[in-house]
Structure 1
């Protein structure tokens, strides 16, 4: 299925005070290039996000914005380093005794010393948080894909119209090609007879005339090019209906179409065939521009 590389998708999921919002924007790019902006609090989930994107998107520049909100009560624990606290008390008493200082130690004073108190945040269940994120991400990817397929469908219809125009030009050339050799033979014979009349020379050997016509026919023969053109056009149509991404294959086929059209134009000794070949090149250039948008 033809799918555009340009699109936008948004997804949200909330449960138990936790809320994820995911936005994805994609534009044309030759390769898969993700740019993920994710909260530092859940940055460990970035590899999972990247893996999910790879399964849905084969190429394009992908910007992903992930917002995480947790409205639940903040939880954690504060631990007292009792061993260190005892050492602080013992050291202060020893320092004050020789100097006759009063023991005015207070708990609040001692607890302010470095490393006595340590706060520990409760570690959330990462697998659970990831499952919530994946639901928001999946919704965003579904919406993105729907938009890309809709635009891809419009591009596909336009490309099919251009392929129809090319097929018509190929048929015109096929009908015209046999006439080229006949016209050359007639013009050559007429020219030779005219020269013979002017110079009063003996008649030209018909075998030599046919030899010249045969050489001309070999030089301007475009049967192989026309066969390949028809084959490439058929393959192009089939590639547009593939389930997997076909942008790279279409790009290759476009190059081959252009190659055959160029060869026909260079071999042509006929104004109508040249016109048709140039018409094909014009359609091929339009096709080239369009497929840059396809995944």
Structure 2
């Protein structure tokens, strides 16, 4: 089991080129991958995305890729004459439009995209891929290691809270066995206060108590609760993504406690249901961060 939150970093050098990769992930319902890399390398995104999806199936991943050449490599400049002439033409058109000269400075050529290019900022796709791919794979492995460590911490917390839910379920089960008896006594007391004489074994009284017992029977709910909690524990040991399954189980557990609360008609049981749902909400909040 893995958390969706993590960070991984790595670098790799190949033939005078160094690739540095950083990955930060946060929780998302689907896989949401975003790359930050030099514009001329966008053609690599599809293959890099496939590599990322081998390691993560859910969560937003922000992946930053930086390249640099080893010191001593070619540091020359290159000029694109077509872009330079186009820039000059654009300035002349602006001058004609506003009716006065607009000076074209050297800094304008430097700032204009693609006119003046430092060789270290232009990357060959095939050359860059040889450095980027290993760096990305190593950073993903480091990311997964961190996500597994956080997943282990969350598992410990989940197990503790599941034990608490089972305690609440046990308390509710024991309290329910007394609810029917209290209802019988309540009915008898009300009849006595109304000065209505009736035998405790009277068929009408027994029928009313039987109907009440059927309405407040929560044996099915507690059985399903135990099943859901056991299933939750099994998922915690899975190496596959289980976030959606755990979220579904939280919904089912919540449904059972809601049904118990509506059936029980008892203040003590109601308090236990509130306590259990509070604990369950804490579990559900953490489940949102599980892959």
Same fold (TM over 0.5): yes
Structural mapping, 1:47-58, within 5 Å: 47-58=46-57
Task: Provide the rounded CA distance (Å) in 2 between the counterparts of 1:187 and 1:205.
Answer: 15
1:186 Cα shift?
Answer: 2.4
Task: Provide the rounded CA distance (Å) in 2 between the counterparts of 1:55 and 1:138.
Answer: 10
1:66 Cα shift?
Answer: 0.9
* TM-score, length-scaled by structure 1: 0.77
Moved over 6 A (4+): none
Task: Provide the rounded CA distance (Å) in 2 between the counterparts of 1:43 and 1:272.
Answer: 63
Unaligned runs of 5+ in 2: 77-118
Structural mapping, 1:80-95, within 5 Å: none
Match of 2:35 in 1: 36
1:159 Cα shift?
Answer: 1.2
Q: Could you give the per-residue CA deviations for residues 182-218 of structure 1, whole angstroms, max 9, x where no partner exists?
A: 22112222332443xx35x575871111100011011
1:268 maps onto 2:267 in alignment? no
Task: Provide the rounded CA distance (Å) in 2 between the counterparts of 1:226 and 1:203.
Answer: 34
Match of 2:225 in 1: 229
Structural mapping, 1:103-252, within 5 Å: 126=126, 129-195=128-194, 198=195, 206-252=202-248
Q: 1:167 to 1:205 in 2, by over 3 A?
A: closer
3-state SS in 2 of match to 1:221: coil
Indicate the structure (1 or 2) with the bigger Cα radius of gyration.
1
Task: Provide the rounded CA distance (Å) in 1 between the counterparts of 2:23 and 2:50.
Answer: 15
Is residue 38–residue 46 contact of structure 1 (8 Å, CA) maintained in 2?
no
Unaligned runs of 5+ in 1: 76-120
* TM-score, length-scaled by structure 2: 0.78
Task: Provide the rounded CA distance (Å) in 2 between the counterparts of 1:4 and 1:203.
Answer: 63
1:250 Cα shift?
Answer: 0.7
**May I ask how many residue pairs the two structures share in their alignment?**
245
1:61 maps onto 2:60 in alignment? yes
RMSD: 2.3
Match of 2:273 in 1: 277
